[in-house]
């Protein structure tokens, strides 16, 4: 172990351009960190870049009941139902016709959601993550967003049907 520390210290000294056995490994690391901090303090600070207007947080997506969503499905309304749970959760069952888009991927697929044009109903296991996702979608300008009250738990409790997540991609 001691031999490994010596090799690491030698490598760090070589990277830092310091003479060989001047410092032990701990002191060497401290000196390198101090030098890096001094360089960072001396470097000019770039101006902050505003990539876009801040998102108006706090605007909650309205809730839709299980009964209302079931009616919309039965009437074959054009609605995009999105399961924001992780695939391992969705594999245990989903609302029939729903798409599995985990929350992280949903928030980067905004252009696809806008292009689709259908009203969006989000759900997760109990509604918490779907509410968060709905808030972000509203803040990004997607207005037709609703969250399923009670989430998948509420859907199952009301006797809603389920389907399994497709594990293979269609051809």
> Token pair of 1, please?
């172990």
pLDDT in tens, 40-57: 666 666 655 444 444 445
pLDDT in tens, 60-83: 999 999 999 999 999 999 999 999
CA distances 65 to 46, 84, 114, Å, are 49, 17, 24
Is the entire prediction scored with pTM above 0.95? no
Q: How many CB atoms lie within 10 A of CB 66?
A: 20
Domains in the chain: ranges and CATH: 2-42 (no CATH), 63-157 (3.40.250.10)
């Amino acid at each position: 172990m001691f031999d490994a520390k010596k090799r690491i210290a030698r490598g760090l000294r070589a990277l830092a351009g310091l003479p060989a056995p001047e410092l032990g490994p701990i002191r060497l690391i401290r000196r390198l960190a101090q030098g890096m901090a001094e360089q960072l303090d001396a470097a000019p600070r770039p101006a902050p870049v505003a990539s876009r207007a801040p998102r108006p947080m706090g605007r909650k997506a309205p809730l839709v009941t299980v009964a209302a969503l079931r009616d919309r499905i039965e009437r074959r309304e054009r609605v995009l139902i999105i399961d924001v749970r992780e695939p391992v959760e969705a594999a245990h069952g989903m609302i029939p016709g729903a798409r599995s888009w985990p929350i992280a991927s949903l928030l980067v697929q905004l252009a696809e959601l806008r292009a689709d044009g259908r009203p969006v109903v989000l759900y997760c296991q109990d509604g918490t993550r779907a509410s968060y996702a709905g808030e972000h979608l509203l803040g990004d300008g997607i207005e037709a967003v609703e969250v399923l009250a009670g989430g998948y738990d509420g859907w199952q409790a009301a006797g809603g049907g389920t389907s399994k997540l497709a594990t293979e991609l269609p051809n």
